[in-house]
Structure 1
């Protein structure tokens, strides 16, 4: 009887410890055969980089000649928010005319910056409807079925009678 209780206590403690192990999630570019760090400045071109590494994770918004290869690892423990434990970004810049690599920069999680977003909202015209006004607002309007006048209104397909 004492042995069974001891085994049950050990099993319960193993389950409790197992529930707290982090779940690791890998996302982004996963280097399998080639590494973005192996790109050579002055010798590689857009086509050789794309052939070796594949399409970039992201291109620059303002300069299509800057490619980013991004990978990150997140860990989640139980019900908590995921925490990014590692992020590696390789930024490859190409010459605009010759498409030859001009620079390769390595960035990590330490290079990131926290951005404080503005939580305010831009007001819109009109007034906000209450829940009751939203629920019964269209009851007396008679707009449940389309009218014959709605034919040819932009956004309607010809002959569509929904």
Structure 2
């Protein structure tokens, strides 16, 4: 059997470390609309309408449901470190506002400055009311709700769950 030289062993070790380290890099991903600034600049307030905007920019990511019918195009750059949750690194929201006749009124562009960062409060949802224990949760309704068929014999009074 042949002995492995120090250089060969060092090369194999360095190669193994390089392969393992390459698996620990973050994954970069683009989500949503790909914004082309030339196309966005070609949309002119007072000149374009909904049809021309759709032909130029495509269908919006979503349309506002309340108030005026604004169109939104959302673009995100997301980075996912190994073994962690994805994080938004860059976000652009393009809003196209229309007047009552359907003509472009304005085109607004927003970035990460409008993103609200919230932190949930642990793994429990705070609720109003009293704080109940385990036994009270398990047995709290005993006696509070009557069993079907155990009443006065005439059946329930008033409308049922479907209004009949």
Which TM-score band (shorter chain)? 0.5 to 0.7
Could you tell me the TM-score, scaled by structure 2's length? 0.65
How well do the aligned residues superpose, as a CA RMSD in angstroms?
Answer: 3.9
Describe the shift of the 1:115–1:81 C-alpha distance in structure 2 as closer, same or farther (beyond 3 A): closer
Q: CA deviation at 1:4?
A: 2.5
Q: CA deviation at 1:44?
A: 0.8
> Counterparts of 1:2-151 in structure 2 under 5 Å?
2=5, 3-31=7-35, 35-96=39-100, 98-109=101-112, 111-114=113-116, 116=118, 121=125
Unaligned stretches of 5+ residues in structure 2: 128-160
Could you tell me the TM-score, scaled by structure 1's length? 0.66
Check conservation: 1:94, 1:101, Cα contact below 8 A. yes
Describe the shift of the 1:64–1:55 C-alpha distance in structure 2 as closer, same or farther (beyond 3 A): farther
SS of structure 1 residue aligned to 2:107: strand
Q: CA deviation at 1:56?
A: 0.7
Counterpart of 2:133?
Answer: none
Q: CA deviation at 1:119?
A: 5.7
Describe the shift of the 1:73–1:60 C-alpha distance in structure 2 as closer, same or farther (beyond 3 A): same
Q: CA deviation at 1:59?
A: 1.4
CA distance in 2 between partners of 1:62 and 1:104 (Å) = 18
CA distance in 2 between partners of 1:46 and 1:20 (Å) = 46
Counterpart of 1:144?
Answer: none
Unaligned stretches of 5+ residues in structure 1: 124-153, 155-162
Check conservation: 1:70, 1:89, Cα contact below 8 A. yes
SS of structure 1 residue aligned to 2:60: coil
